[in-house]
Homo-oligomer: A and B are copies of this chain.
Amino acid sequence: MSQKLGRASEKLAEPVYIRSSASVAGQKEGQGPFGALFDLVGEDDLFGCKTWEEAESTLQKDAVHLALGKAGVGPEEVDFLFAGDLLGQSIATSFGVSCYGIPLFGLYGACSTCGESLALASMALAGGFGERMVCVTSSHFASAEKEFRFPLGYGSQRPLSATWTVTGSGAFVLEKKKHEKSRAKITGFTVGSVVDYGLKDSMNMGACMAPAAASAIERHFQDFGVGPEEYDRIITGDLGTVGQTVLFELLREKGYDIAHKHMDCGIEIFDREKQDTHAGGSGCGCSAVTLSAYILKQLEEGVWRKVLFLPTGALLSKTSFNEGRSVPGIVHGLVIEAV
């Protein structure tokens, strides 16, 4: 049940609770600012597997395992699983979650998929279709480079506008009922549509996604009748430093200044001075592990009361890129509050 605010926005009459979550990250992410907060950090990025794709599947498998363990429930107690990743035909998901046997809705929204999964799971719970849902998304630096650019062995050069795909997976157990250990609650969401400004640079995905982020934020503000002051933080997924600049400019043109409230998971997850990741981190896993390890912690500890969480996605493939197509963006927003 919900109150329809605008076509794209829903305010939940009864909130949905994030009962538990888990983050599994790669070696480089473990050396970054959030390193100590992740539940599990790999010793190397193969996670005991033979291929990068298998390694990414293992990330999802482990993240779901840990999140379920924290909630003290088994996979047979989950109604539906909402999951996705960046690889062609979402194989990290198919092979990562098959062992659980949970009824699955496979999703693709590029790096916005974490937001898409949380919105759909919230809708399923609030609509009365179950008691407990799990959301999981992942990305892996090496599988993503191979999928979208070149295999690592080619040693390709990266411009300063490029982002570094985060190796990581975040899983979330959502429940209809409040529990004494619920980490936070989801109270509403705004579903994004595809926004295409015609940009074609796959090495500057921040700029490609910024228009979609600006569109989602503006739509959210209008639908909910609020402004930046409503939130302790407005948190985008992986715009990076270049995308952030574009976002601020686009929103200023629309009359909104969010600079003092903005945080980008991609900018925060790596140490810019020491880790040589250029414009920041990116990927389906970037916003997911940051939400699990850092954002929910701030809400639990009372540092923040309410945030707008906006995973940002760049809709390209190597085929569309090589055929000269643009890189459209899509961004979904979730209102997440302290319990």
Contacts and interface: CB of A to CB of B under 8 A. Distances in A.
A330 interface: yes
A87 interface: yes
Interface in A283-339: 315-320, 323, 325, 328, 330
Interface of A: 1-2, 4, 7-8, 10, 51, 53-54, 76, 78-81, 84, 86-91, 94-95, 97-98, 100-110, 113, 116, 119-120, 123-124, 126-130, 146-147, 191-196, 315-320, 323, 325, 328, 330
B127 A123 contact: yes
Nearest to A128: B1
A153 to B, nearest CB: 15
Nearest to A76: B7
Given A91-B317, A98-B193, A103-B193, 7 more contacts: A7-B78, A88-B318, A97-B194, A105-B107, A105-B119, A123-B123, A126-B127
A260 B245 CA distance: 63
Determine how many copies of this chain the complex contains: 2
| Best-surrounded residue of A106, A107, A123, A317 (most CB of chain B within 10 A) | A106
Nearest to A130: B4
Main secondary structure of the interface of A (DSSP, over half): mixed
Nearest to A146: B319
A7 B79 contact: yes
A119 to B, nearest CB: 8
A105 B120 contact: yes
Contacts of A100: 193
A191 B1 CA distance: 21
25 contacts: A2-B128, A4-B79, A4-B129, A4-B130, A8-B103, A86-B89, A87-B88, A88-B318, A88-B319, A91-B317, A94-B320, A98-B194, A98-B195, A98-B328, A100-B193, A101-B194, A103-B191, A103-B192, A105-B109, A105-B116, A105-B120, A105-B191, A108-B108, A120-B120, A147-B319
B84 A108 contact: yes
A316 B102 contact: no
A325 B127 contact: no
Contact of A196 (B98, B147, B320): B98
Nearest to A1: B128
